[in-house]
């Protein structure tokens, strides 16, 4: 299958490992086609075709950016959207109408996305195959955390980690995680909204035992407390989290069993190649069912409904440096809104 990958590059290596041919376009310097401003996906498609690459499937992978690609609903190939940060980007909901199929990283948002018309499949995040440890190293770090500690979308994390450290030693940094996780016995996770984030899978594939909050979306269907992950803690309960880490470290044999079982689970079910296989299987079904033809037959209505996404984006941009972007998206929304009348 020839895949046009837009925006996030999470699954590109996995697509290629499965034998697919991938052309990447996005706001990342390593993309085959680099863009630095909002750009028409149809123009990218046409450019690719003129160079001899005719996509069977366009896959837009959310990387937390603005919707830099528009006119996606006009693509003649099958198309899919992987919505990852739905919880803080509600414009994903009307934007989903641009696609033939939508994948929701967080199970709790699958139903809301489905209400916008496209078939939705739950596709949890995963670990990249590239970080699987090749050699065993001493696990000399009892507890670690790798991640952003000052993001506006998660204002509780910095205080949570600061108070956790008072009660239990922990190594915290924002550097690349594989080396630290491979040395860690326990990796602490703290989410933004009880989502199952990528850190969970990354920690487990590196052979560390995962300690995370109870009640995360879809948690019981993916992991088993005390078997593949450690018994969890109540969200933002620093004292409870520190006590859970201490209990786990006090029983090294049980801790090692959980870590091994968790790593085996991720290796068996939750690598990027597993997600890439699910995506391409859905794309094949999409083509068989001729969903692109149905989408193209509904273009005026779809554009009218998608316009809401661009209104949400344009009105939500507060950074004065992005004022030109805000005006662009509001103008785009107006053009989309008028499409139905035309």
Are 77 and 66 members of one domain?
Answer: yes
By the 8 A CB rule, do 287 and 56 touch? yes
Last residue of some domain: 229, 251, 270? 270
* Per-residue tens of pLDDT for the chain, all 342 residues: 999 999 999 999 999 999 999 999 999 999 999 999 999 999 999 999 999 999 999 999 999 999 999 999 999 999 999 999 999 999 999 999 999 999 999 999 999 999 887 889 999 999 999 999 999 999 999 999 999 887 778 889 999 999 999 999 999 998 899 999 999 999 999 999 999 999 999 999 999 999 999 999 999 999 999 999 999 999 999 999 999 999 999 999 999 999 999 999 999 999 999 999 999 999 999 999 999 999 999 999 999 999 999 999 999 998 898 999 999 999 999 999 987 765
φ, ψ of residue 235 to 5 degrees: the values are: -50, 130
199 closest CA partner among 154, 234, 240:
154
Burial of 176 (0-12, 13-18, 19+ CB in 10 A): exposed
User: Which residue has tokens 């290796």?
Assistant: 267
By the 8 A CB rule, do 69 and 5 touch? no
Are 142 and 259 members of one domain?
Answer: yes
CA-based R_g, the chain, Å: 21
- Can you give the residue range of the structural domain that contains 207? 129-270
Q: Domain with 300 in it: what CATH number?
A: 3.40.50
How far apart are alpha carbons 210 and 229 in whole angstroms?
5
Are 120 and 159 members of one domain?
Answer: no
Give, rounded to a whole angstrom, the gap between the first and last alpha carbons of the chain. Answer: 35
How far apart are alpha carbons 9 and 25 in whole angstroms?
9
Are 27 and 66 members of one domain?
Answer: yes
Are 211 and 311 members of one domain?
Answer: no
Which residues are registered as beta bridge partners of 290? none
How far apart are alpha carbons 35 and 78 in whole angstroms?
22
Angle, CA of 183, 188 and 191, to the nearest 5°: 140
Q: Domain with 224 in it: what CATH number?
A: 3.40.50.2000
Order of strands across the sheet with 184-188?
Answer: 171-173, 141-146, 184-188, 209-211
Are 151 and 266 members of one domain?
Answer: yes
What is the predicted pLDDT for the residue at 341?
A: 64
Give me the half-sphere count of Cα atoms (radius 13 Å) on the Cβ side of residue 62: 24
Task: Tell me if residue 60 falls in helix, strand or coil.
Answer: strand
Domain total of the chain: 2
Write the pLDDT tens digit of every residue in 74-88. Answer: 999 999 999 999 999
283's CB contacts (< 8 A; 6+ apart) are 1, 56, 57, 59, 78, 80, 101
Write the pLDDT tens digit of every residue in 219-239. Answer: 999 999 999 999 999 999 999
Are 26 and 138 members of one domain?
Answer: no
Strands 2-7 and 57-61: parallel
What is the predicted pLDDT for the residue at 154?
A: 87
Order of strands across the sheet with 33-34?
Answer: 33-34, 21-26, 2-7, 57-61, 78-83, 101-104, 120-122
| DSSP one-letter code for 338 | H
Are 155 and 22 members of one domain?
Answer: no
Are 105 and 26 members of one domain?
Answer: yes
Strands 101-104 and 141-146: unpaired
By the 8 A CB rule, do 25 and 44 touch? yes
What is the predicted pLDDT for the residue at 61?
A: 98
| DSSP one-letter code for 6 | E
How far apart are alpha carbons 230 and 86 in whole angstroms?
27
How many C-beta atoms lie closer than 10 Å to residue 15's C-beta? Answer: 24
Handedness of CA 164, 168, 174, 176 (dihedral sign): negative
Last residue of some domain: 270, 301, 325? 270
What is the predicted pLDDT for the residue at 171?
A: 97
The pTM of the whole model exceeds 0.75: yes
């Amino acid at each position: 299958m020839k895949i046009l990958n837009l925006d996030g590059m999470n699954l590109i290596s996995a697509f290629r490992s499965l034998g697919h041919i991938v052309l990447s376009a996005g706001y990342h310097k390593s993309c085959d086609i680099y863009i630095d401003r909002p750009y028409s996906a149809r123009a990218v498609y046409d450019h690719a075709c003129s160079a001899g690459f005719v996509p069977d499937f366009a896959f837009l992978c959310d990387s937390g950016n603005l919707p830099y690609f528009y006119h996606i609903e006009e693509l003649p190939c099958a198309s899919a959207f992987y919505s990852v940060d739905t919880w803080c980007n509600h414009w994903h909901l009307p934007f989903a109408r641009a696609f033939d199929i939508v994948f929701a990283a967080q199970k709790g948002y699958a139903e809301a996305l489905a209400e916008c018309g496209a078939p939705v499949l739950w596709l949890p995040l995963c670990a990249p195959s590239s970080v699987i440890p090749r050699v065993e190293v001493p696990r000399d770090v009892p507890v670690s955390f790798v991640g952003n500690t000052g993001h506006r979308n998660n204002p509780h994390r910095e205080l949570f980690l600061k108070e956790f450290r008072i009660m239990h030693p922990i190594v915290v940094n924002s550097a690349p995680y594989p080396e630290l996780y491979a040395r860690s016995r326990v990796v602490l996770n703290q989410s933004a909204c009880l989502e199952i984030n990528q850190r969970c899978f990354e920690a487990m594939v590196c052979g560390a035992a995962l300690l995370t909050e109870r009640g995360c979306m879809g948690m019981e269907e993916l992991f088993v407390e005390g078997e593949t992950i450690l018994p969890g803690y109540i969200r933002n309960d620093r004292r409870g989290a520190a006590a859970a880490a201490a209990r786990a470290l006090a029983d090294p044999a049980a801790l090692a069993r959980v870590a091994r079982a968790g790593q085996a689970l991720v290796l068996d079910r939750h690598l990027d190649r597993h997600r890439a296989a699910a995506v391409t299987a859905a794309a094949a079904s999409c083509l068989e069912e001729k969903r692109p033809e149905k989408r193209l037959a509904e273009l005026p209505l779809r554009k009218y409904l998608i316009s809401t996404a661009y209104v949400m984006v344009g009105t939500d941009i507060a950074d004065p440096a992005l004022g030109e972007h805000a005006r662009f998206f509001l103008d785009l929304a107006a053009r989309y809104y008028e499409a139905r009348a035309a």
